[in-house]
Structure 1
């Protein structure tokens, strides 16, 4: 479930958030500029960052980059998939450096925020700071991450939101990319990105029709629960509070996924689903309300009554694995200790617990020494955590001074039944 890629926060804290930490599909479509698109095959615009880092003896002057293959990565410290891609891009940069490939990451983050970030996250290639956003504008960046490849002749040959080694190798070998064979089937965008309270399917329709002038969904009081058309997705969510309105969207979630979100549970291990319902659902909520708790209550009531189900709690003693901090250290901090711009260099302890539960189907808890703590994630960044096995995760946590102990505790689990 994509929720696990975000810092895990209780619903009671949601109203304090100023930015929705949504995941990939949402981030990629948030509009930044409305300039005309640069086209593949055209001469690449020059870049003129106001500050550079990690460039060594590499000059970003056009003459110095002539004859090089240049990979441009437009990113930001707040962009989860941007930060998650750095370890892989570090490897590609090192592997193809001797073949004339130059990686340049360009951000519009303020100087202090960027420099704080660079102290916590390893980037082995050149970073440029675009204070006036002119490079973003010249490249018509409409979302992040945005990746470009410029060939040896200074021509744009690739634009996308993710770079694979296969794509880069094709440019290294041929100085270009063969055009894709277009399908005769019309493109259907089931999720056009969203903020809490917006309908991702509606936003997808706007993107397909090119209609950017239509009314915004946030002006309409709505509570929608429907079977999702996005059945191949593993789910994504967003939430926000704007003035006196609450917005919550969950796209393509199973019943267990949605109840985990509504009740702020670590994972679906805490829920026994006794209902023969494997459908995925969309939940879109935007109403005048003074708290997330009331909004969640309305959604749950509509879900249980509409599907004729109950969601009940059960308290009993169960075997659990308890995590605790053996000794305070700089790798485990509280949210108040975060420096500006470094939040994506840390992963909440809740995300580690969730991943362990999903992999083992067992219960994991953090004691008071780790309550609400953040773990410096270098060496177990998001992508590595996503692909890791339990032993790898546990070994990483031990390097951060965390110990695990088997106990029996009284815990509250939940069950979904037919009404």
Structure 2
């Protein structure tokens, strides 16, 4: 029995899917204790968009530590926080004509979601929240209440959550307009759905199965929020920071959320989360939502270095180019196994291959790991292979990882045929 099995809680999950003791990492590569190399198509569940140990981050952190600079500051003002806010404003908000206040919360996505829910209820003086099918927003009590998957919800009492779930875009197929359905439910005083404080959504549902909302749907949801005086919250925790190509996942739709939640890659692999709040909604009283590690200055330093990627369109263009490589290759795999009704979906460098047959995607993931590729599954039944490589992955590693996926699909298919 390993020390992990002996002492670590049963709640651990990824160590079961990827059983190895990892020791080193660089950009899109991980190495275990024996030196075996793995290509990373997981990227810390989207926390490592800029790769493992970016050299500019390592250099900045070492220099900062050698200065005996501030590590933990709660919400006190520090040079590192000042420089982060200036950089974030200059490179992200101002070029996009976005005006937001920045709230630093405890450094997890779930904590930032909790803050967004609390604030929206304070601003609108209503308790209700509308979330969507296949949503995933975290597993703390408030975040869990707006997460739809019953695997996470069943053992916990959420009776007083005041949350209603509505169908996401194309939930019933592309021919059904679920935004119109939502509007009708809010218009009808006998629908049983009260006007909520906020509607929260992911422009791309990652854990939910790589479901991409259309521009038209996002625009309609924003208009519903305007018409019914509802706050629009966008959870950009996993699909922000360039994952879709643009810095924010909702940019291409031209919408302007009231609140945006960010975490994961905003800290460059170090714990950090943000809630972006339109100024008129920044109605917090001092100390109403705190968190000891909201002043993680090492994360500020790391983020400052990585925000430089957004001085031009180089990273965005690279993501779009690589996404086409991935889509073409996945479609080629799907075409080889037409009887399995595979479906390619995604945007930017979050791509999915839906394989409806029960358990097949998990078999592919397991076979891929044996061949040196880390890739996870997503969706209601874990039926979607989810590709989430670092945005900075080298072309040759991207192609090698896709080769492994193709081989793993073939192995899983042939194994299944032999058992039939």
Q: TM-score range by the shorter chain?
A: under 0.3
TM-score by length of 1: 0.27
TM-score by length of 2: 0.26
> Looking at both structures, which has the greater relative contact order when contacts are Cα pairs under 8 Å and sequence separation is at least 6?
2
Q: Which has the higher helix share?
A: 2
Q: Which has the higher strand share?
A: 1
